[in-house]
């Protein structure tokens, strides 16, 4: 600060020389009596000259500057300490933020992995749905083709053809001879009791040829009735109420009316059908129902209040029209119930 105040080299040297004189002056004065010192202080005999007063004034200024510098130094130390605490806190905050950032990164990686798995699952499910769509489309085309063939083959015919059933109701009269034997003898021949005229040797025979009657065929025109049989190949864990039980392993499916993907039987030929379903569970009980077009037509029950494997079987006879849909679904269960595979099955056939 002195160099700043006295930038001139000559002034600095002069100031140093004056300071030395002042120090010598104080040394001499301190050896004097206190009275002389007081006189110097208040300006009596032996008072310092103007140069010494200037030096004293400047020394006082320097002392004030030192005190001010000391105060500023104390303030700066306090400020530095405060800044140091702030810096330490900032470093702690940075460390905490790094830890939080690491946790967020781990969570981000976990969510990304889960999203990837969900994407793969949805992609696989989409492929399955597309395959089901292709299978249903193929099945629909087959059914349309069969329907067209059935429509062409079922032309109305006259069962009671005159060519096949001629009117042979006649009376044959012979004299003194036996009547001719009927050409056709069946259970439909009618024997009539007639009264002959007196003195007459005529014999009257009334005969009627058999008339063919239509008979209902109970076998499909292709020589094979409609029937299916399917069972579950995997355990259905914790089935939900209202869940359609899917019997995915199809063993027999003559008309492709049953779908192992949806668990539904769709009638392609109108008629009377017999359905049987068997449910095996691992614990407690399970109530099932057979639905026809969403309406309940039969109930099933499997299980008890224990913890053993149990099986229940139910049968229903239904009259179905073309397009009717029949499924088996879960009506009720007390908790987490598993439907076991292989024994669990669903079958049906036309009568």
Tens digits of residue pLDDT in 234-289 = 999 989 999 999 999 999 999 999 999 999 999 999 999 999 999 999 988 999 99
**7-64 pLDDT tens trace:** 555 666 667 767 777 777 666 655 554 444 444 444 444 555 677 788 888 888 888 8
**311-351 pLDDT tens trace:** 999 999 999 999 999 999 999 988 888 999 999 999 999 99
**299-313 pLDDT tens trace:** 999 987 777 889 999
Angle at 295 between CA 291 and CA 299, to 5 degrees: 50
Give me the phi and psi of 106, to 5 degrees please. -65, -45
* Residues pairing with 312 in the sheet: 279
Q: Are strands 345-350 and 325-332 parallel, antiparallel or unpaired?
A: unpaired
Question: Is the separation of the CB atoms in 325 and 292 below 8 Å?
Answer: yes
Task: List the CATH code of the domain at 227-350.
Answer: 2.60.120.40
* Residues pairing with 281 in the sheet: 310, 339
Query: Model pTM?
Result: 0.40
| Beta-carbon count within 10 A of 339 CB | 25
Nearest to residue 274, comparing CAs of 222, 346, 221, 218? Answer: 346
Q: Which residues contact 29 (CB under 8 A, 6 or more apart)?
A: 36, 37, 40
Percent of the chain with pLDDT over 90: 32
The residue assigned the tokens 């057979």 is 290
| Beta-carbon count within 10 A of 255 CB | 21
Give me the phi and psi of 236, to 5 degrees please. -95, 105
**Domains of the chain: which residue ranges?**
55-133, 227-350
Give me the phi and psi of 8, to 5 degrees please. -75, 130
């Amino acid at each position: 600060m002195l160099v700043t105040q006295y930038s001139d080299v000559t002034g600095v040297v002069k100031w140093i020389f004056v300071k030395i004189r002042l120090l010598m002056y104080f040394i001499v004065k301190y050896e004097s009596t206190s009275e002389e010192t007081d006189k110097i202080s208040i300006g009596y005999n032996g008072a310092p000259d103007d140069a010494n007063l200037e030096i004293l004034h400047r020394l006082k200024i320097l002392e004030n500057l030192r005190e001010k510098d000391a105060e500023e130094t104390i303030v700066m130390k306090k400020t530095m300490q405060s800044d140091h605490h702030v810096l330490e806190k900032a470093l702690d905050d940075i460390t905490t933020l790094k830890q939080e950032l690491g946790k967020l990164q781990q969570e981000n990686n976990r969510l990304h992995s889960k999203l990837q798995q969900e994407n793969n699952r949805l992609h696989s499910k989409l492929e399955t749905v597309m395959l089901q769509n292709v299978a249903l489309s193929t099945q629909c085309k087959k059914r349309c083709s069969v329907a067209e063939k059935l429509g062409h083959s079922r032309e109305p015919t006259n069962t009671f053809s005159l060519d096949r059933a001629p009117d042979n109701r006649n009376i044959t009269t012979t004299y003194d001879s036996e009547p001719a034997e009927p050409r056709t003898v069946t259970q439909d021949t009618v024997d009539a009791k007639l009264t002959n005229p007196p003195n007459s040797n005529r014999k009257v025979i009334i005969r009627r040829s058999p008339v063919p009657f239509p008979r209902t065929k109970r076998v499909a025109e292709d020589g094979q009735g409609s029937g299916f049989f399917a069972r579950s190949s995997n355990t259905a864990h914790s089935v939900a109420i209202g869940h359609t039980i899917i019997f995915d392993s199809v063993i027999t499916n003559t008309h492709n009316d049953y779908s192992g993907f949806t668990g539904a039987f769709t009638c392609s030929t109108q008629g009377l059908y017999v359905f049987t379903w068997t449910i095996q569970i691992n614990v407690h009980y399970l109530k099932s129902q057979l639905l026809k077009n969403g309406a309940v037509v039969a109930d099933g029950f499997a299980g008890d209040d224990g913890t053993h494997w149990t099986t229940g079987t139910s049968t229903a006879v239904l009259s179905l029209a073309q397009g009717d849909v029949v499924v088996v679904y879960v009506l009720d269960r007390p908790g987490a119930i598993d439907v076991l595979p292989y024994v669990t099955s669903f079958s049906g056939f036309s009568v």
